[in-house]
Structure 1
Amino acid sequence: MATNNVSFRTARTQQLAEALQDARHYTLRLFDYFADAGLDSPLRVPQLRIVNPPLWELGHTAWFAEWFVLREAASSHPADAVGNSLLTKGDDWFDSNTVPHRNRWTLDLPSTGGVKTYCHEVLDRVLDKLSREASVDEALYPYRLVLAHEDMHGEAFLYSLQTLGLQAPIQLTHDEQDYSTPSEIAFPGGTLHLGSAADTGGFMFDNEKFAHSCYVPPFRMDSTLVTNAQFADFIADGGYDNRQFWSLSGADWLMRQERSAPRYWERDGNQWHTMRFGQLMTLAAHEPVRHITLYEAQAYCAWAGRRLATEAEWEYAALSGHPAFRWGQLWEWTASPFEPYPGFSPDRYREYSQPWFGTHQVLRGASFATPSRFGSAKFRNFFMPERDDIFCGFRTCAWNR
């Protein structure tokens, strides 16, 4: 994916215009991988709770931009938007707040060509309106919001391609990163301003508001993520069979899944292989282990005599400037449940965070599929603990002795 290095949070008018075009081009490109496999029709898409019909998801990204930019919605509440959708039934089809997930397979959606035309028309109007905006944070907020939203859905498209065993852009199917030798870093701890400061300027998500003082005791953390080779040692030592390593929730999940290795791993004699975007390949020992649930990460840590970092520890390490601490290869599970910061209140996209507090777990960092403009040490990703379709891994941590 073509990206620019300017954060979407502070991008100005021209930078936003270029990024919005880039994001839409990329979304359409990924959609074509589903279409090439005959999955442009929702009726042909397996009805899984972790995917959306690609045609619905494509239309939803354009509708979201239309809602918050063109219709100047003050919130995600139906009464807070101006005028009607460009599509006669746009709100009935693509509003994720009013269209239950299970219903997205049976909607009378427009044709693939019709949805693509809608995407192009919305983008053209968004860009025209953006060209006349003042380059100030308040005016640019909805544009930054819809860009972030489309970037997140672009990565979700990749999750779905992996889940459904479909081809993806070649640069994302092979690991070409230069991984450093793992080491342990001792951090002295201290007071951290966890979250985004009110006077920072630019865009911030509501769950980052606002920065508040948090004391972080001294701790030690791995410089890199746990690798496939390290996780294979856990498996070889009976990690999936020894219930003492698993939490009660993890043991319950394991019993229901009958899992004995991470998702997509296949053993061929003494060699592990993995299925990656529909292709079976040898598992690279040096790569970070990916497609790991929170429960598997916790069990590995228990086996290794370690633990997951809290999100405060992770943010402290990421902002420390330590040259050995690397992040951005995979989303990283933390030990922190997804909860609001003190004084939380929802922003215009009211359902972005609030419905998920208390049920989801925080992940930090970014993945190889995350645009560089999106990455931030302040960003709080969040998923259910059992999700392993996302590009997630983990690193271990310990109290400082």
Structure 2
Amino acid sequence: MTDIELRTGSASRAALDAARSRTLALVNSLSPDQWLGPRLAIVNPPLWEVGHLGWFEERWCLRRGVAGTLAPSLLRNADALYDSALVSHRERWDLPLPDVAGTLRYLADVRSAVAALLAQDGGDPALQYFLQLCALHEEMHCEALTYTRQTLGYPEPPGKRYAAAGSCTGDVAIAGGRFSLGAVDDGTFVFDNEKWAHGVEVRPFRMARTPVSNAQFAEFVDAGGYRDRRWWSRDGWAWRSGEGALAPLYWHRDGGSWLRRRFDVVEPVPRDQPAMHVNWHEAAAWCRWAGRRLPSEAEWEFAAATVPDQPGIKRRYPWGDAAPTTATANLHGTAGGCVDVGACAAGDSAWGIRQMIGNVWEWTADWFQPYPGFVRDPYAEYSEPWFGSHKVLRGGCHATRAGLIRNTWRNFYTPDRRDVFAGFRTCAL
């Protein structure tokens, strides 16, 4: 396994504990009924999701055997309860899950056993790899649990409110050229769908400086864009008609104004924040109406990672290689939601593109496909089953953890998903 980043056991344990703290902060306030929640296709029961985190950590850190065999779990029938590859989504509300106290005890027992293993064999490269995998997996579920709180109208997670920063309009001309798309094999942890960097040619293009704002998207809605078949693909129109969608999810009219539901609060739609809770079909329809297009994956990464007149330079983040801060990106749930599209100027890419990391995930034009020479990682269900059926999103959102995101990170959802914290930016035709 050549892609293992060698870290000390204490560093990996710290990452695991930080992720666990965030998980517990998202669920500790739930009532008994909310731990199970309603049966919906786009969320998991929080009780199942939290238990799954313990199962995943135990499966990869404690139970790995020879030739793919698994040692027994600390919890009876754990695989039948929590293995997401075996347990269908619709079954997860009907399983004989441990209660909240039993679920949290299982997580604590697994963590104690992992700590003991670290004390015994913390330098094992394979263990370090799987510790990182488990920490990142839990961070992804923290984001999913934040989506769940929004979907179900639970109170928002705590966060600081930031001053208005306004809009930031216009396009940036990007020269294009040949560059390496994907992750460089430098020994740091990456997921299999990022592997490996390979040369692609990008033609010159013009990209919007910021994501599409609520004000810009509202113009499309007010112009009757959701009722006009001209702007929609065949699949997009079928989705819109089936859903009866007439505006972004959570928007509704109040006289002459648009309001939205954000967690358990109804408020005016903030004009200068990015349009969010729009799916790929809605983004593509807006583009047709506006005479624009979604960027390709390669264009997005080129704009985020390359530096004008310095071929061969590729940054980890749009602003450089320094870790994200609140000045460069809206991540970590720090703001409790989106900030204006004009915010985070210190995080501009070398081309002058803003908010390519954080605030909202950005839909791209491309289907999720493997890079040349793809080889799946041990967590085989992460990427491979979804190739060809999901669209690629880039950049992270306000609920994404800083340790999880970078310029090469590829997220992916089916084009009908509106519940995720996703928006889009555009390119000129």
Give TM-score, length-normalised by structure 1: 0.90
- State the alpha-carbon separation in 1 of the partners of residues 41 and 251 from structure 2: 22
> Does the alignment pair 1:20 with 2:16?
yes
CA displacement 1:2-30 (0-9 Å, x = unmatched):
xxxxxx97864333222211111111221
User: Which runs of structure 2 are paired with 1:234-253 in the superposition (5 Å)?
Assistant: 234-253=220-239
Q: 1:179 to 1:207 in 2, by over 3 A?
A: farther
Partner of 1:36: 31
For residues 139 and 41 of structure 2, what CA distance do their matches in structure 1 show?
21
Among 147, 151, 158, the alignment partner of 2:146 is 158
Give the SS at the match of 1:110: coil
1:392 aligned onto 2:387? no
- Which residue is equivalent to 2:112? 124
Q: Could you say what secondary structure the match of 1:153 adopts?
A: helix
- Which string of whole-angstrom CA distances, capped at 9 and with x for unpartnered residues, describes residues 250-280 of structure 1? 0110110111100000111111111011110
Supply the distance in 2 between the matched residues of 1:9 and 1:294 (Cα, whole angstroms): 35
C-alpha distance in 2 between matches for 1:90 and 1:312: 41
Amino acid of the structure 1 residue aligned with 2:133 = L
In the alignment, what sits opposite 2:91?
103
Contact 1:137 1:202 in 2 (8 A): no
Q: 2:42 aligns with which of 43, 50, 54?
A: 50
Q: In structure 2, what is the Cα distance between the partners aligned to 1:134 and 1:182?
A: 50
Shift of 1:175: 6.3
2:190 corresponds to which of 174, 190, 204: 204
CA distance, structure 2, for counterparts of residue 10 and residue 205 of structure 1: 16
Residue 331 of structure 2 corresponds to residue 301 of structure 1: no
Deviation at 1:128, TM superposition (A): 3.3
Letter in 1 for 2:34: L
1:120-199 correspondence runs (5 A): 120-133=108-121, 138-171=126-159, 178=165, 181-197=168-184, 199=185
2:257 paired residue among 235, 251, 271: 271
Q: Which moved further from structure 2: 176-185 or 326-335?
A: 176-185
Please give the per-residue CA displacement for 1:168-220, whole angstroms capped at 9, x wherever unaligned.
21218x666746623311110011211112x3112111111111111010111
SS of the aligned residue for 1:220 comes to strand
Match of 2:266 among 260, 280, 293: 280
Q: 2:355 aligns with which of 326, 331, 352?
A: 326
Distance apart, 1:293 and its partner CA: 0.6
1:221 Cα deviation after fit:
0.6
Displacement of 1:236 in angstroms is 1.4
Distance change >3 Å, CA 70–CA 203, structure 1 → 2: same
Moved more, 357-366 or 80-89: 80-89
1:5-57 deviations in Å (ceiling 9; x for gaps): xxx97864333222211111111221223x326222x3xx2111111111010
5+ residue gaps in structure 2? 307-349
Aligned residue in 1 for 2:368: 338
Maintained 8 Å contact 1:318/1:325: no
Q: 2:201: which partner in 1? A: 215
What code does the residue aligned with 1:272 have? Answer: W
Aligned mates of 1:37, 1:280 — CA distance in 2: 25
String of CA shifts for 1:96-148, please: whole Å, max 9, x gaps.
11111111111111111000011112122223323454557544210111111
Question: In structure 2, what residue type is equivalent to 1:245?
Answer: W
Residues paired across the two proteins, number = 382
User: Secondary structure at 2:172's aligned position in 1?
Assistant: strand
Change in Cα spacing, 1:73 to 1:359, as seen in structure 2 (3 Å) is farther
1:30–1:168 Cα contact (<8 Å) kept: no
Q: Deviations over 1:358-390 (max 9, x none)?
A: 110000000100111111111110001000000
Q: Is the 8 A contact 1:137 1:203 kept in 2?
A: no
Using the TM superposition, give the Cα deviation of residue 224 of structure 1 relative to its aligned residue in structure 2, in angstroms. Answer: 1.0
Work out which of the residue numbers 67, 73, 78 in structure 2 matches 1:90. 78
Q: Give the 3 Å change call, closer, same or farther, for CA 212–137 of structure 1 in structure 2.
A: farther
Unaligned runs of 5+ in 1: 1-7
CA gap of 1:245–1:20, structure 2 versus 1, over 3 A, is: same
* Cα RMSD (Å): 2.0
Q: Is the 8 A contact 2:212 2:275 kept in 1?
A: yes
